[in-house]
Amino acid sequence: MNEVLNTLAAIQQLEGAKLRYALMDLAKEVPDAIALGRGDPDLDTPAFIVQAAREALTGPLPVAPVAGLPELREAVAANALRDHGLEQGSENALITTGGQEGLFLVMSTLLEPGDEILVPDPRYTSYDQAIQHTGATSVSVPTYAEDGFDLRPEEVEKRLTPNTKALLLVTPSNPTGGVITQATAERLAELASKHNFVIISDEIYGKFVWEPHTHVSVASLPGMRERTVTLSGFSKAYAMTGWRVGYILAPENAVRAMAAIKTHTTGPVATLSQRAALAAAHGDDACVREFRHIYAERRALVAQGLSHMGLGYSDPRGGFFFWADASSTGLRALELSYLLLKEARVLVFPGTAFGESWSDYLRITTLQPTEVLQEAVSRMTPVVERYAREAAARH
């Protein structure tokens, strides 16, 4: 137990990305650990995308324009119209080195010291780092399990000030799996128009929204095309995380401003990766439908396992995550995460890695093969049940 306390004492000083990486480092020391932490797809990039990259290697690979290959920008805009009703032209698309760079470009372009940006709580903390980089201030907006972690417009409205520059939406949400409903999107659009702020909508998991729920792109709503910046990419939908191709859809003047920053920092995305992404963009999404089927089966398996071990959770409406309430164990999530790693050899992330107020929650991913998920559930169950029994006995 001293080892537990000493290690917890060390990692309890960490938050956000530092906490997540510290736990991943600990997992490397655990033999045969099963990682249900990070959100990178474990499936192979579809063969036709890899083949397109191979074919690109047979000819010249000149440096692409900073904003991206014209044909890829055109395809991204066309797919946004096809999939989500976003009326965008190629001039509204910027190809980025993964979604992470896109996030930093958006914040660097839109925000400056003195600005405020409303952000959902909980959230992936890379948003906080990007905002801090600009000198702007994050204002947290709470979300609630009883709403499926949809954002309440009234909670947004009460936090608006003359300094409010933007509202960040993440739909589907990382870590909760919540999605923005049509009614919420329409009300937030009204607030944005009335109070003159920009909506930044991160839709990287947009192709994985689970029935009966649907994905809503705020930029497709009347009057929102000019006051919405949409973030997305190829990594999650096409299992292309390592190819590092994201994109931004925004008003043309914002795209030019972001491209100017990109010119003096990272430059264009690797042409080879862009050619691969172009094949994905031109595809019929049969691979995505196949992926959806696989992820849906995994989602059902994990849901059954969590219910069996007595962990409550909000039904994830989209994405790859379960946001599970571990309070029945009588342990804080950070301690339980450590004990699950040491005793069950399963890595999950505590909710405090996504917001300081979420000490009772765990984020658990479904990004492992079915048989590995089954093994993870079987390892976790006796550990969770034991601590839950002990907690019940104390009360």
Could you tell me the mean pLDDT of each successive run of 10 residues in the chain, 395 residues long? 56 76 88 93 97 94 96 97 91 97 97 98 93 97 96 98 98 97 98 98 97 96 96 97 97 98 97 98 96 97 96 94 96 93 95 92 97 98 96 89
What the block records as the tokens of 250 is 């925004």
What would the two tokens of residue 25 be?
């480092």
CA distances from 363 to 8, 48, 319, 337, 354 (A): 18, 33, 12, 10, 9
- With CA atoms as reference, report the closest residue to 37 among 56, 53, 23: 23
Specify the CATH number of the domain 2-43+287-389: 3.90.1150.10
- Given the DSSP bridges, would you call strands 137-142 and 116-121 parallel, antiparallel or unpaired? parallel
Per-residue pLDDT at 5 = 44
Cα–Cα distance measured from residue 197 to residue 341, given in angstroms and rounded to the nearest whole number: 43
Structure tokens at 299: 């989602």
User: H helices within the chain, ranges in order?
Assistant: 2-11, 16-28, 47-56, 70-84, 98-110, 126-134, 153-157, 182-195, 252-263, 271-282, 286-309, 333-339, 370-394
Query: Which pLDDT score is estimated for 8?
Result: 67
Angle at 298 between CA 204 and CA 39, to 5 degrees: 35
288 and 207 Cβ atoms separated by less than 8 Å: yes
Distance CA 248, CA 73 (A): 10
What is the predicted pLDDT for the residue at 2?
46
Spatial CA neighbour of 172 closest among 202, 144, 197: 202
In the chain, CATH 3.90.1150.10 sits at 2-43+287-389
Is 165:116 a contact under the CB 8 Å cutoff?
yes
Cα gap 347→363, rounded to integer Å: 10
Q: At what angle do helices 252-263 and 98-110 cross, to 10 degrees?
A: 110
Query: Tokens 């696989």 label which residue?
Result: 294
pTM of the model: 0.94
CATH number belonging to domain 62-282: 3.40.640.10
- Residues forming CATH 3.40.640.10 domain(s) in the chain: 62-282
